[in-house]
Structure 1
Amino acid sequence: QNDALLGQLVSKLSQYRAIEWRLLAETGLKTSEMLERLHALEAFKTDVVITSLGVNDITGGTRLKHWLEQQRELKLLLQDKFQARHIFLSSVPPMHEFPALPQPLRWFLGRRSRAMNSALNEQAALDEALAFVSVQFPMQKEFFASDGFHPSAQAYRLWSEALLEHFKERCLLPQR
């Protein structure tokens, strides 16, 4: 995990303050499955939640309308059960540029990821508790793991830096 998103973000945040964190993740989870896990989890209080959901919904055929309903349910659950004050919604990556995906599948999945990002960004703009975090990294080989599908440590570094900027924008970190 040190090279993945959470490890790199924790390293950056701990330069500002002591933090407690939890990771709830599993390869292949769709938003509906994450909701099930959160409903089953014992409640605890948290200030910030970072989500990274959507790729498995796209590859699993979840319809945009259903996914957005699940995103709304997720937000309410995070606020009500876990008292989350800030929810950072990571964008779905640009699947139309994934080297592991053949055409025309790459084009099709990319089209769906752009639609999800547009809708997620609109949701975030309507709610001050939400922040849409655009995950941008060059679509070059070194920014992908060897499978050509998952991010590399370099991509996670850029993603963690984007999240850190959102922490600063929300004044969640002390000024240096």
Structure 2
Amino acid sequence: MADDPIALFDAWYAEAQASEPNDPNAMALATVGADGQPSVRMVLLKGHGADGFVFYTNRESRKAGDLRAAAKAALLFHWKSLRRQVRIEGPVAHASDAESDAYFGTRSRDSQLGAWASDQSRPLADRATFEARFAEMQARFDGRDVPRPPHWGGYRVTPHQIEFWQDRAHRLHERRVFTAGASGWSEGMLYP
């Protein structure tokens, strides 16, 4: 058994990439707004390592507003085919502009254009309005590379706690929890 939660995550994630039928990098992101209201949504993990877990989004979206109000988040990976979950909690900070630019450059052109066309999380009168804005962005950037919008970028969740949950028969699940401290990670177990 690994005593390094990042190495254990890497092993579980590799198994999920081999077995999950769709989006093994999908994770629930939980935030809390300035009003104390929690909110959760699915985002995609786009990078991870000892320094944290990275996802990208519109920095004017509701989730970004929540992260401005309280720069903490919880992540949940649920790999149903493996009967496993990983929970991660910690503070959140912006990924660097260089990281955001590099990732944005790997996205499909339509995804890049969509980042310019969408006022993510804000009311939309009808689908035709969004499609018209998308067509405007196609014309605006015709024949040119699409730069990263100034309001779009990455966030990094630095884990302070990581829990590995493994399904067991009769709901006698195994729960290993790692907590970050000044001298590294400490490990414990939780009752199912």
TM-score clears 0.5 = no
* Higher helix proportion: 1
Compute the TM-score of the two structures, normalised by the length of structure 2.
0.22
Compute the TM-score of the two structures, normalised by the length of structure 1.
0.24
* Higher strand proportion: 2
